[in-house]
Amino acid sequence: MGAPVSKSGKAAREEREKKLILKHKFNNRITLTRFGKTNMDAGDYAGALKKYVEYMEIVAEVKEVKDIYSIKPHHFDPKKDLTEMLMISHVYFEMAKIYDAVPKFHDKCQLCLDQFVSFSTNQPYQVINSELIRKSLKRSIFKNTEAFRRAYQGIFINSKKCYVVTFCLGTEHPVTQEFRELKDVLLRYRLGQEFVRVYYRYSSAAVNGWQESAVMHGVGRYFFRPLLVFLSKTILRFIIG
């Protein structure tokens, strides 16, 4: 007979097996989201939710966090994991829509919306996600509309992005901070919210195109930059106090 396996050896073997199982599940996680989307489109919301939760649980286990609502953007490398982060944000949004349909699950709906906002704010796809929720609100497809409206506003409120100003002056420039304060003032009013939405939508696309243009870098430095500084010392001071 062979020598008995030690407790430490058995634990090590079980740990290896556990890691292999998790690796296999992680490698097949995208399939779960596809099944979830298929079920969602077919009106099988319970089936869709089951697949989405299973996907999120795999991510939570890989990231070694306590539950699916403890997954945060800082657990990912934005350079390598951007596609996954976008998918996670959309899965949270789909889960929020499913939970929204049943009043007793509105607390879980709110948790999903909080995660959606967290994974949307200050990300390259921020405008895409803000438009996603805005168009859904426009169609009035929610029972708890106010929760989704707060999430939509939360993306802009929490965002530190100020595309044109940041392009011209940088993220940490005092004038950039003053324009963020202007955004906070505008968000208090419905017309201001619409202005901020349009600004984010079109300025993000413009600045993405400007990044590789030496001409636009020159225009930003010698035309927009002095103009923005002038506005910060005149009109902006009057508005933000």
C-alpha separations of 157 from 101, 122, 196, 227 in Å: 26, 11, 10, 25
* Percent of the chain topping pLDDT 90: 46
Chain centre distance of CA 85: 7
For the stretch 178-224, pLDDT in tens is 888 888 888 888 888 888 888 887 887 787 788 778 888 788 787 88
For the chain, give the mean pLDDT. 87
Considering only residues 115 and 203, tell me which one the structure prediction assigns the higher pLDDT. 115
* Percent of the chain topping pLDDT 70: 97
Residue 88 amino acid letter: I
C-alpha separations of 199 from 151, 179, 207 in Å: 18, 12, 11
Give the closest residue to 164 by CA, choosing from 125, 212, 119, 221. 221
How far is it, in rounded angstroms, from Cα 157 to Cα 187? 7
pTM > 0.95: yes or no: no
